[in-house]
């Protein structure tokens, strides 16, 4: 799952950066989301895989705090990027004639920059719930399942949900992998 997450999101980043037809705000935000998904998964999964391999359940206090800090930063970025992507789609649907004026490169850069150092996020609810529930009466198996769900499964599914169902991304990936040449679509 970890390799699928990393390579799936990496392919999205490479496809968007290598295909000039995908140099639009929507794909710019999508490539940033893919990068953040790689980061969010990489903060927790390697240690989890190490613990599974060594049958160890220990972690230093400093390691735990560092991991939690980075996880929450990237989870917050993930949420903010999803919000920016929703705004981008809102402008594209509700103001199609003004889309290129509203979603200019400066605004896109500013929105992504704003999403990046902000750390407030909707993910805190689920993350705090998991960390607080570990002190309660819940079993460690249900806590582990919940942790895997928001730390591993969601970032793994994002490339499929947000881009691999998109014909432009599929075509860019095919060109990137050398399977076909870019066709031009004219409306």
Q: Using one digit for the tens of pLDDT, what is the confidence trace for 10-66?
A: 988 988 888 888 888 888 888 998 899 899 889 988 888 888 888 888 888 888 888
Q: Which long-range contacts (CB under 8 A, 24 or more apart) does 168-171 make?
A: 168/19, 168/21, 168/22, 168/27, 169/12, 169/15, 169/16, 169/22, 169/27, 171/19
CB 145 within 8 A of CB 48: no
pLDDT in tens, 27-41: 888 899 889 989 988
Whether pTM exceeds 0.85: no
How distant, in Å, are the alpha carbons of 23, 77, 81, 146 from that of 18?
A: 9, 24, 21, 36
How far apart are the C-alpha atoms of 154 and 157, rounded to whole Å? 5
Q: Which CATH number applies to 2-176: 3.40.50.1820, 2.60.40.10, 1.20.1070.10, 1.10.3720.10?
A: 1.20.1070.10
CB 9 within 8 A of CB 34: yes
Domain ranges of the chain: 2-176
């Amino acid at each position: 799952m970890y390799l699928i997450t990393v390579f799936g999101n990496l392919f999205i980043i490479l496809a968007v950066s290598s295909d000039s037809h995908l140099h639009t705000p929507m794909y710019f935000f999508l490539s940033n989301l893919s990068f953040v998904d790689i980061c969010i998964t990489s903060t927790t999964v390697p240690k989890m895989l190490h613990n599974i391999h060594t049958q160890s359940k220990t972690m230093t206090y400093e390691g735990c705090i560092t991991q939690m800090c980075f996880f929450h930063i990237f989870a917050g970025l993930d949420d903010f990027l999803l919000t920016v992507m929703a705004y981008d789609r809102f402008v594209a649907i509700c103001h199609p004639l003004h889309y290129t004026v509203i979603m200019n490169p400066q605004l896109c850069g500013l929105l992504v920059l704003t999403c990046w150092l902000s750390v407030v996020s909707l993910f805190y609810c689920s993350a705090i719930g998991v960390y607080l529930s570990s002190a309660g009466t819940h079993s460690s198996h249900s806590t582990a399942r919940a942790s895997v769900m928001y730390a591993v499964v969601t970032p793994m599914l994002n490339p499929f949900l947000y881009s691999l169902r998109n014909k432009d991304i599929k075509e860019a990936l095919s060109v990137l992998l050398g399977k076909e040449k870019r066709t031009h679509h004219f409306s």
